[in-house]
Structure 1
Amino acid sequence: MSARYIFITGGVCSSLGKGVTVAALGTLLESRGYRVTMQKMDPYINIDPGTMSPFQHGEVYVTDDGAETDLDLGYYERFTRNTKFTRANSVSTGQIYNAVIQRERRGDYLGRTVQVIPHITNEIKKRITDLTNDEEIDFVIVEIGGTVGDIESVPFLEAIRQMRREKGREGVCFIHLTLVPTITAAGEAKTKPTQHSVKELMTYGIQPDVLVCRVRTPLSQDMKEKLSLFCNVRNENIISASDIQNSIYEIPEMYRNERLDQVVLDHFQMEAKRLNFKKWTEILDIIHNPSRDVRIAVVGKYIALQDAYRSVYEGLMHGGIASQVNVQFVKVDPEELERTDDLSVLHDVHGILVPGGFGNRGIEGKLMAIRYAREHKIPFFGICLGMQCAVIEYARNVLGWQNANSTEFNPAAEYPVISLLEEQMGLEQKGGTMRLGGFPALITENTLAHKEYGATRIRERHRHRFEFTYRYRAEMEKAGLIFSGISPDKQLVEIVELKQSQHPWFLGCQFHPEFQSKPTEPNPLFAGFVRAAAAHAKEHEKKEKKK
């Protein structure tokens, strides 16, 4: 038989972890030698999350082909080793309706009334099955965004109901993720919300084959039997998704112990090939037994929301795994630095990272943090806007160009060292118009970037409108700033750094290396930055002991 389809829905409330459940199941099936792909179905009407506020939606994840997607695609890509993701793996209601309306305008439905059923549901099904067109896939795992009962999700639920009707039980498996809350002082878990959620799902014609229950501690046998009786799900198909202790990378092991992958394979009557879990076991051993703690300050204006810099935090953890250390995040609000002029929060950190972003809020605070890192020889890593801020700080405080700035913040700046990309000038449409996706860069030999990458040509993912103003390169190089990464046409600056004789580790990149970092394969820049921060921590410990 061709590909099998696994649909994961959520009930009771949002933020239960559908994304990491999809990713963990994909990891387990891939570790058994199966070919897997994953897809996120988002019920919002936006074409993509590119124009949404990070406070509302979290970070925007970017695929190599330039799609701005939900952050869950980041989980999918980080957890799997062989699966490649493109814009086809991220679908929204806006995309579905846009495609159908364009067909209607062309006259493809001439003479017919365009309706949710069958036209919208057919387009949804087409987006799912298209994932199997170009290569042989064993499993397509699809996450249906939102919560069962939301009006926005109804067309997606109807589409997957139709797929079960068309492909049969042997072709489709329904997994429903719900909450079993503990609300009494005695710590008793309550199954009623899950019962109601399953009942709601059944009103759409979908009977779950597997129940995954978010719980504080694993479900007792009595609780499983109760859920089995009231939800009409086999006892052995009820999975406990218990709260984890240290890291999301414990989740695949948790589901492995709960036999989630085995339950799915049994549903499809497929062979449970030998599980190769060695790499994940090694990762967990490092996570549980780090050699030391390393404190990294993340200076960003969205630090109040954990998901706004999700891939950055994950990239730092991957760097920690590579160096066998535990990375602790010190979240620094740059606006607070501006208000107080107090940098004491940075005194005991071992590394400083300034991530990407848009707008001028908090910029002066970021510049203060970068100057502190440069002058106090603390490992520094600037990403996208962080690199641009590093250039501005260097121009102001080393070259003496006090009015250096980005035209994003001051269009009339005397020294516009950062300016709008030429192809961005005159654009009125905001969505999907930035420099997006994977682009190559040439790395200069005998530089920090070359040391970390071990290559003279790389490919990284971008998401930005502004760039270094190339006419200032010669003057800034003369002042000591190194331009170690350049686009192949030698028009765009991709990496800046300081000589290692001047600073132990100081680098900024215009791209987003966090989008190509995995726990099994940390991005070289994150690995190098955390390694340098660990070395700084070690030196700091020595100095403290001497005191």
Structure 2
Amino acid sequence: MTKFIFVTGGVVSSLGKGIAAASLASVLEARGLKVTMTKMDPYINVDPGTMSPFEHGEVFVTEDGAETDLDLGYYERFLRRSKMSKANNFTSGRIYQTVLAKERRGDYLGKTVQVVPHITDEIQNRILASGEGYDVAMIEIGGTVGDIESLPFMEAVRQLLVKLGRENAMLMHLTLLPYINSAKELKTKPTQHSVKELLSIGIQPDILVCRTEHDVDEDTRRKIAMFTNVPERAVAVCKDARSIYEIPRTFYEQNVDDLVCERFGFELPEADLSDWDKVIDGLFNAQGEIVVAMVGKYVELPDAYKSVNEALLHAGIANKVKVKIHYIDAEKLESDDGLMDELKLCHAVLVPGGFGERGTQGKMMAIRHARENGVPYLGICLGMQLAVIEFAKNVLKLDANSTEFDRKTPNPIIGLITEWFDEKGDLQVRTLESDLGGTMRLGAQEANLVAGSKLAHIYGATTISERHRHRYEMNGRYIEALENAGMKISGYSAKQHLVETIELNDHPFFVAVQYHPEFTSSPRGGHPLFNAFIGAATLQKA
């Protein structure tokens, strides 16, 4: 039977519940357990797919095409053997949508539909389903204890803790130990009140993880334990670390994984965290520094590009160099010569994915600089589409654009796709500027890389699988003209033969892809495309 560890947070938000949960999960996995993780978000949006990055940060895409919370990216980066799916993230909006659909169908036989039991039952069903087939399921509850929005989740967890029993379920609570500088001491009262809030709901935490900027002495631990009914050995201290990738060892050294194994009756060998030690060694013993210009329109909020940031960090580890990201506002770049001077000082240029026209001219200015000056360039999703448009404008001298930005462009080199069957019954695909529909390509899809291409060399394969999140595609009618001018179309989708990758023949490293490789990068090995990008920048700098 699957064992469940519920993870809650108190005192303030943004304490790092997702990282704490993922770190403990990685230690349990290192002991031989099969672990999965689920995030429950209390907001009413059905999913974060339509939310602004300024509101919620990046949208992480799973292999099965679910648009999910960015915490699922942390889950995948910390776990080796588990991939997230649509079952691993759900919101209050999704729960209410499901319950209301059942009510409209008459599934409740005319009964009054209420938060308890109907909403809480639906939450419990999803929690249990997400853990099927695993030894341990970590369930993170978004928000902070005491929030009105999260009360249905808390009640569902309270009921599950009773139903499953102590031998099958436990709860880890993350709190803050603030330091009062004038008094020169840590204060435990916020933690006490946070646990008291949990107790008022009917939940007793089994493990406390106390976030702090300072060392915590044994007297303080004992005080916390005494006033929260938590054993002293179950009060873990998580001091601010140099890197989130140090947290697994922090938990291991405080025997948090032993508490879990003892509670659930697991008899397992000690965790081998040597791979995490290698990550930390690569991170803090790097030789030299590479500065990557990331040109986007959400640069004020780095969380909007969280997976890209992490993938660059991983590539630095793989190449034994420190990667510094220099964020450049694409919209401001269009009129600020000083920003262009900053761009020219960077060793590489990356244009990430995005939606909408704002900032596209600035992004194409950065792309042109990289193309004409031999600066390593990596374009992702919109970064590929804009690379194609820039090339068509400045090399082919076409008045070209994407129908996303100009419905009446005379050369719709990027547009929505239309599918139809020809007289032989074969599926055909074309891009039309008049197309008002369009279905977003989401999730993992196979692509075929052209043998002998730079991309095929980077991957060491001609068939790959990568995750997508986009609606617009490159128009196949322009492939011949582009290739005659020196742009190689080096990859096509296996199913629809849509353009997946482009590269320049006479450039040290100019590669752009329609998919999102950042979603599958890992600190333990990186991603081949990001590794090659940073490797090329390192060579150029040398």
Q: TM-score range by the shorter chain?
A: over 0.9
For residue 524 of structure 1, what is the aligned residue in structure 2? 528
Separation (CA, whole Å) in 2 of partners of 1:522 and 1:161: 39
**Displacement after TM superposition at 1:293 (Å):** 1.1
1:134-145 aligned at under 5 Å gives the runs: 135=133, 137-145=134-142
Deviates more, 1:103-112 or 1:439-448: 103-112
1:535 aligns with 2:516: no
**Whole-angstrom distance in 2 between the partners of 1:535 and 1:211:** 47
Structure 1 partner of 2:422: none
Q: 2:418 aligns with which of 415, 422, 437?
A: 422
Check whether the contact 1:218–1:241 (CA below 8 A) recurs between aligned residues.
no
- The runs of at least 4 consecutive aligned structure 1 residues that moved more than 4 Å come to 423-428
Aligned-partner Cα distance in 1 for 2:258–2:324: 35
Query: SS of the residue aligned with 2:461?
Result: coil
1:400 aligns with 2:397: yes
Match of 1:117 in 2: 116
Q: Equivalences for 1:464-475 in 2 at 5 Å?
A: 464-475=470-481
1:461 alignment partner in structure 2: 467
Corresponding residue number in structure 2 for 1:285: 281
| Structure 2 counterpart of 1:32, one-letter code | R
- Counterpart residue identity of residue 119, structure 1: H
RMSD: 1.4
1:344 equivalent in alignment to 2:341: yes
Q: Following TM superposition, by how much is the alpha carbon of 1:421 offset from its aligned partner in structure 2, in angstroms?
A: 2.5
Aligned partners of 1:393, 1:289: CA distance in 2, in Å? 39
Equivalent residue runs for 1:100-249 within 5 Å: 100-133=99-132, 135=133, 137-185=134-182, 187-245=184-242, 247-249=243-245
Contact 2:489–2:503 (Cα < 8 Å) also in 1:
yes
Cα distance in structure 2, aligned partners of 1:309 and 1:100: 34
8 Å CA contact 1:214–1:243 kept in 2: the answer is: yes
Cα drift, residue 525 of structure 1: 0.6
**Maintained 8 Å contact 1:10/1:147:** yes
Structure-to-structure mapping, 1:36-55, within 5 angstroms:
36-55=35-54
For the pair 1:94 / 2:65, whether they are aligned, the reply is no
What corresponds to 1:542 in structure 2?
A: none
**Alpha-carbon distance change, 419 to 427 in structure 1, aligned in 2, over 3 angstroms:** closer
Which one of the candidate residues 452, 456, 460 is aligned to 2:458?
452
Query: Structure 2: how far apart are the matches of 1:94 and 1:112?
Result: 21
Match of 1:320 among 293, 316, 319: 316
Q: 2:373 aligns with which of 357, 362, 376?
A: 376
Q: Which residue of 2 aligns with 1:63?
A: 62
1:427: Cα distance to partner?
Answer: 4.2
Structure 2 counterpart of 1:73: 72
Q: Hey, what's the Cα distance between the residues in 1 that align with 2:71 and 2:279?
A: 21
State the AA in 2 paired with 1:487. S
- Residue 82 (structure 1) shift: 0.3
Match of 2:334, SS state, is helix
Deviation track 1:137-158 (CA, whole Å, cap 9, x = no partner) reads 1101000001111111001100
CA offsets, 1:487-506, max 9 Å, x none?
Answer: 1245310000011xx11110
* Contact 2:32 2:268 (C-alpha < 8 Å) held by counterparts: no
Instruction: State yes or no: 1:310 paired with 2:314.
Output: no
* Partner residue, 2:509: 505
In the TM superposition, what whole-angstrom CA distance separates every residue of 1:420-440 from its partner, at most 9, and x where no partner exists?
232694449xxxx52111111
What is the one-letter code of the residue matched to 1:486? Y
Gap change, CA 1:265 and 1:506, over 3 Å in 2: same
Aligned residues: 527
Distance 2:518 2:60 in 1: 9
Q: What stretches of structure 1 of length at least 5 have no aligned partner?
A: 539-547
Using the alignment, how far apart are the partners of 1:186 and 1:128 within structure 2?
Answer: 44
2:537 match: secondary structure: helix
Deviation at 1:513, TM superposition (A): 0.3
Aligned counterpart, 2:424: none
Letter in 2 for 1:248: I
- For residue 269 of structure 1, report the CA deviation from its aligned partner: 3.7
2: distance between equivalents of 1:419 and 1:392?
11
Number of the residue aligned with 1:514: 518
Q: Deviations over 1:117-138 (max 9, x none)?
A: 11111111110111243x2x11
CA distance in 2, matches of 1:203, 1:451: 59
- SS where residue 197 of structure 2 aligns? helix
Task: Report what 2:263 is aligned to.
Answer: 267
Question: Counterpart in 2 of 1:541?
Answer: none
Give 2:425's aligned residue: none
Q: What is the TM-score when the length of structure 1 is the normalising length?
A: 0.94
Q: Unpaired runs of 5+ in structure 2?
A: 420-430
Q: Name the SS for the 2:11 alignment partner.
A: coil
Contact 1:470 1:491 in 2 (8 A): no
What is the distance in 2 between the residues matched to 1:505 and 1:111? 64
Please list the CA deviations of residues 205-242 of structure 1 after superposition, one character each: whole Å capped at 9, or x if unmatched.
00111110110023211111111111111111001111
Letter in 2 for 1:271: E
Measured against aligned partners, the alpha-carbon deviations of 1:350-402 in whole angstroms (never above 9, x if no partner) come to 1110000011111111011011111111100000000011001111111112x
The Cα shift of 1:415 comes to: 1.7
* Mean Cα deviation higher: 408-417 or 308-317: 408-417
Cα distance in 1 for partners of 2:186, 2:372 equals 54
Q: 1:364 corresponds to which residue?
A: 361
Alignment CA distance shift 1:426-1:360 (3 Å): closer
Which range is displaced more, 352-361 or 106-115?
Answer: 106-115
SS of alignment partner, residue 381 of structure 1: strand
Name the SS for the 1:339 alignment partner.
Answer: coil
Using the TM superposition, give the Cα deviation of residue 311 of structure 1 relative to its aligned residue in structure 2, in angstroms: 0.2
- CA 1:126–1:525: 2 relative to 1, 3 Å: same
* Partner Cα distance (1:380, 1:493) in 2: 18
SS in 2 for 1:511: coil
Tell me the SS of whatever aligns to 2:203: coil
Residue of structure 2 equivalent to 1:495? 501
Residue identity opposite 1:113 in structure 2: T
Equivalent residue letter for 2:192: Q
Instruction: Describe the SS at the equivalent of 1:88.
Output: helix
Pairing partner for 2:492 from 475, 481, 486: 486
